[in-house]
Chains A and B, each alone.
Chain A
């Protein structure tokens, strides 16, 4: 019997390939089966890591440094579990989403679907609802592969696969706006990959190994390592869309179909973030410096402030949510100066900041997925997503807006949401380490988030006015998946003790448990 960790990669891969080979309506069924089985496998893996600790596996029985190994510690499994639950929610939503009458293009100036070029007729026979499932399964498989890989070159391959699948999903509906956004995203992401790959080559030249564990044990320092680290970091920051490298994100995330937007914002951005965190705190820790970390933090802070202001200014709901992602990504990177070399290795607050940032990533995953899916409902039912024309729509889909509000609470970091836990930990760390400026940023960011969430809600709660047309009814499963994801982002805030303890498994810090035991 192959272990659960292998299955979380194999199941979506097999289902995706089968869906591609068979095509047609069967692809949906295969996608759903894949989603369900992958989620089960992910939770089997969680149980295994919870009981037995860090899990390692060498492909083909070849040990590192020659072979390629997979490794599941608390952090990897945490990300896989998040991907599984969010992915399941998105899959359930997508079942009916593509069956709805395709809503008008988000960009009304571009009525498309007609202009397929010469010799490309065969492409047009694939409906979005059919090509979605193989690509989505491929995306899921590459996410899980990325989280499990313990080899920096293998991670590069994972990143590239992720990019290809993401771009293909963005242009699913072949709208003009999404093709432009997808192309821009593709170029930016490939550039990032190339920077990362050059870093890999330099690191290999220096260390002679590719395995993360061996690299971490080598305690590398020196200029060459710093250059390699810098290249890899820039490449990943570009993919994670940290300010000022976020230019590609709003268009790409907002012009995609709702289930794709949700997956991109909630999961794909997190993959680049995950990899950066791993490299930063495990491999490049000795080569890093306070100054660099503060600069990353400043970029994060700028992203929080500017991203939130941009979100407040947006006239379209999906654009607003996309800019909100830009801002929320900023939060994730404020973690770096807090958990970085500002403190001594034994300082507990470094670990608190690290878990806080990851918990924030988790909360953002659930909340943002819920928000984008909610926006998808609103867009396809009302026929538009103009923020200032939402008046009275809360009465038409109350549960959708309730979910939007709950998800908004999580983004704001209001208790009792998962976002609060992340914010609490990061704030505690900022106060404990006397880095007050980050505390101020985190708090102001929360208020700005409240600003754009409140704009949407107050528009929607307005007394009914005439609307363009009677909205189409929404399938129940879509409402439920939007609501379920929002509620989960809340429940994870009410009981955070276990997930936080889980993150300690194999964490690159002196953990709280060891501190208490001492």
Chain B
């Protein structure tokens, strides 16, 4: 059997087929659905591990190319950069599935939820494996569509309104991306992702077109990456159930946008051409503005999930910022943050979901003293928050450290100021929550019975376990950064393939 050809496809089908089967089940068929979900996500995890071993230890590449149009093909390719997103989505899909089973146990429309959930993961894996622009576009648009039913899952008027906003933004972004890709392909022919870029030969004749195309592509991707001013859908979409928010923020949607930006800059244009066209500085400026704006907005929000959402707006732009800087460390910082931000943010959303589910806490002012009755959840939350701030040795520190070095390497010292300001703002909106959670007086209105206030009442393990796991992963990602399978090592390989010597 030709593994190189089949493995990427099996990777897709391992969530696509379960999704289709799940749609045929009834809501009450809990066990068949759960077993299918867990075995599919487990299988995907094993496959991802196998692919990582094959690529990193054995130096293989897995590539599947299927005819699509007369001159276009669907290209799925496993290489270190795609491996990062594949790994992230496989691990987090598995964990989120467990969480979602616990979270949605008695709510309606579970079949619909888990079906689209699996489709969502399929689209993300497709985005990760896409080896050329058209394949990327197909899965990118598929992701927009299959997340819509998840956003409106609750079916309330607010959820429907959020769904409308979401569709408007993502479909609009998709249109920009589509026209950008078509324009580029008309000039360059089918565009594959190749480390270092493939369209340098256009630089002389089509400079202006290339700049406009770059703007179109980044604008299209920026919608999903929630770059200001295209970010408004993200806080709205917080109406969705916690597992959806977690997945949207950590893995699927925003990460698809950020990953697309990485691909466009490094693998389509190439750093050198991007620098020569002068498009990197504007990208860095927009990303920096988004970082600061997101953090400031997060300070003003008191709904926990909305605060987290604005935090995502801010954090995801680290990736775009790192991409816009020229230097190996910046590339490492940008790509490693793809994973680190995902793991940390999913922890925070899991915890937010636990608070909402177990204590009906939605507002951060209600979180006072919650750490006393839910110490484990609060610990996970604290790890996530500290990671976001960038406290060593957590994952967030590794990202920020590399970004800082990268900004010096590329002679953009002002970026350091952005990073520091952002960290201060991060502390300003996370530390009060952490402090009040541990040391504040428990709210009587929330808890009701006085005697129970200090009793430990954690959420069920199906919710707590995933939260603790991802918190642990974000700790380990920082501690074991030197291990060859760590996100950092992977990011270094990715960066070595892409950096050029100016």
Contacts and interface: CB of A to CB of B under 8 A. Distances in A.
Direct contact, A vs B (beta carbon within 8 Å):
yes
Interface of A: 392, 395, 398-399, 402, 405, 409, 412, 414-416, 420-421, 424-425, 427-428, 431-432, 439, 443, 446-447, 450, 454, 457-458, 461-464, 494-498, 500-501, 512
Given A398-B23, A463-B154, A497-B68, A458 B137 contact: no
Contacts of B182: 424, 427-428, 431, 439
Contacts of A464: 155
A458 B152 contact: yes
Contacts of B111: 398
Interface in B106-142: 108-109, 111-112, 137-139, 141-142
* Nearest 8 interchain pairs by C-beta: A463-B155, A497-B67, A415-B138, A415-B141, A458-B160, A416-B138, A431-B186, A443-B175
B172 interface: yes
Contact of A495 (B66, B145, B163, B171): B66
A415 B142 contact: yes
Given A431-B186, A461-B152, A500-B69, A399 B145 contact: no
Nearest to B156: A463
B384 interface: no
Contacts of B70: 497, 500-501, 512
Contact of B167 (A415, A425, A431, A450): A450
Interface of B: 23, 66-71, 74, 108-109, 111-112, 137-139, 141-142, 144-145, 148-149, 152, 154-157, 160, 163-164, 167, 171-172, 174-175, 178-179, 182-183, 185-186
* Residue from A446, A458, A496, A512 with most neighbouring chain B CB atoms (10 Å): A458
13 contacts: A392-B155, A395-B109, A415-B142, A416-B142, A421-B69, A427-B179, A428-B186, A461-B160, A462-B157, A463-B155, A496-B69, A497-B70, A498-B67
Describe A's contact surface by its main secondary structure: helix
A432 B69 contact: no
A67 to B, nearest CB: 36
B155 to A, nearest CB: 4
A484 B174 CA distance: 27
A200 B138 CA distance: 45
A496 B134 CA distance: 13
A458 B160 CA distance: 6
Given A395-B109, A399-B23, A446-B175, A428 B67 contact: no
A432 B67 contact: no
A432 B186 contact: yes
Contacts of B69: 421, 424-425, 496-497, 500
A462 B160 CA distance: 8
B145 A496 contact: no
A447 B175 contact: yes
Nearest to A406: B145
B149 to A, nearest CB: 7
Contacts of B152: 458, 461
Contacts of A425: 69
B145 A414 contact: yes
B68 A454 contact: no
A402 B23 contact: yes
A399 B22 CA distance: 12
Contacts of B141: 414-415, 420
A402 B119 CA distance: 13
B408 to A, nearest CB: 41
A412 B141 CA distance: 11
A468 B203 CA distance: 64
A207 to B, nearest CB: 34
B165 to A, nearest CB: 11
Contacts of A501: 70
Given A439-B182, A461-B149, 4 more contacts: A414-B171, A446-B175, A496-B69, A498-B67
Contact of A415 (B112, B137, B156): B137
A495 to B, nearest CB: 7
Contacts of A454: 163-164, 167
B256 to A, nearest CB: 14
Contact of A395 (B23, B108, B144, B186): B108
A118 B106 CA distance: 62
A428 B23 contact: no
A415 B137 CA distance: 8
Contacts of B66: 495
Contacts of A395: 108-109
A427 B163 CA distance: 28
A228 to B, nearest CB: 35
